[in-house]
Structure 1
Amino acid sequence: MFIHKIDEELSLKVVEMRDAERIFELTDGSREHLKAWLPWLDFTTELKDTQDFIQSGSRNFIEGKSLNTAILFKGEIVGVGGFNQINPANKTAYIGYWIGKDYQGHGIMTRTAKALTDYAFSELKLNKVEIRVAVGNTKSRSIPERLGFVQEGTIRQAEWLYDHYVDHVVYGMLAEEWNKK
């Protein structure tokens, strides 16, 4: 099992089926908070949907295509973060993350994104990490900005969000840039 200790409060572990109830409970309890920026909430309406997500993520992890981790804050699952996609041919990974509404303001997501970026470069030997964020999602945008990611551009109408399209800002970090920090 993959467990990565970030610091005394925070660690990441591969999402397992036994985490499904907690992740669904966290999703359901933060639904209105998360719905502003995440399009998959209408497709996550029961425990089975979370179990399907975990099962699919497990297959993709085994194949080296993604890595979904539960974010543990003081031993409790408070969100999910990881590589939504790993492209071994191009040595690139795309970080995605979300956190329950009651756990914001502790620096959890910045530390998580930093740890994932470290892991991508040091363990997976990737060349580039990207984070794509809806233009208007200022809280989420502050994470790659805080970590020194380069704003590379905007993808217009990148995602359908319930009843409208949103543009995405693309942030990138190269291994050589990260290693200089």
Structure 2
Amino acid sequence: MYNICEGQRIYLRNIELNDAKLVAKWKDEIVMRKMSVGLNTNISYENQLQDIKLSIEEGEELYLIIALKDNNEPIGYIRINWLDENKEMAWLRFGLGSHRQEGYAKEGLKLIIDYLFSIGTHRIDAEVLMFNYPSQGTLRSVGFLHEGTRRQAYYDGEEYVDVFVFGIVKE
């Protein structure tokens, strides 16, 4: 297990194959499906295991587990799905499976932002569904700005909704 960075209450470590069951559980929760992956998306242990395996084998992204320092409990993930070949631009996603509204996502995002900027990344993007107010607030709290709206760009299983584009640049 390799820790990327460590904060006051959490650390970020590389995802492992044995995290698949927990990630599948998190992503299959109704709130997570509604806010990110879509209600009609098939979430299973098998497809999450395959996704993690592919991520590890290809080595082209950072897929990290947020874990509590005091007991090593995994509570969420941060995923840098895209990092250009020069590592100057990145696109991230994040989610908590437990311990929501306790500041852990904010702490994790601060850690990954600092890490990415330290390796030369200039810009980080994130996209959030228009009704995902908690994630919008978390992104704003760590310095992301709402830069635009992709109108009706996502079908959440019930209707087409706007996607808000957020960004942060290294100052």
- 1:133 Cα deviation (Å)? 0.8
1:117 maps to 2:150: no
Name the amino acid aligned to 2:101.
G
Which structure's residues are more often helix, by fraction?
Answer: 1
Structure 1 residues 58 and 175, CA gap change in structure 2 (3 angstroms): same
Separation in structure 1 between the aligned mates of residue 23 and residue 37 of structure 2, nearest angstrom: 17
List per-residue Cα deviations over 1:72-125 (Å, max 9, x = no partner): 02411111112121122572101101111x4112101111111111111102x1
Separation in structure 2 between the aligned mates of residue 89 and residue 3 of structure 1, nearest angstrom: 22
Contact 2:3 2:14 in 1 (8 A): yes
List per-residue Cα deviations over 1:25-81 (Å, max 9, x = no partner): 3444xx11212212256321x321110110121134x2x3x2111110241111111
Q: Percent identity?
A: 23
Separation in structure 2 between the aligned mates of residue 154 and residue 34 of structure 1, nearest angstrom: 21
Could you state the TM-score of these two structures normalised by the residue count of structure 1?
0.83
1:171 maps to 2:171: no
- When the two chains are superposed, the root-mean-square deviation of aligned CA atoms in Å is 1.9
- 1:127 Cα deviation (Å)? 1.1
Paired residues, number: 168
- Say which structure, 1 or 2, has more relative contact order (CA 8 Å, 6+ apart): 2
User: Of the candidates 53, 56, 59, which is equivalent to residue 58 of structure 1?
Assistant: 56
Q: Which residue of 2 aligns with 1:18?
A: 18
Separation in structure 2 between the aligned mates of residue 116 and residue 90 of structure 1, nearest angstrom: 13
Structure 1 residues 90 and 160, CA gap change in structure 2 (3 angstroms): farther
User: Of the candidates 31, 34, 40, which is equivalent to residue 33 of structure 1?
Assistant: 31
For structure 2, the 5+ residue unaligned runs are: none
Name the amino acid aligned to 1:80.
Y
Paired residues for 1:146-157 under 5 Å: 146-157=141-152
Could you state the TM-score of these two structures normalised by the residue count of structure 2?
0.88
Separation in structure 2 between the aligned mates of residue 2 and residue 158 of structure 1, nearest angstrom: 36
1:84 maps to 2:77: no
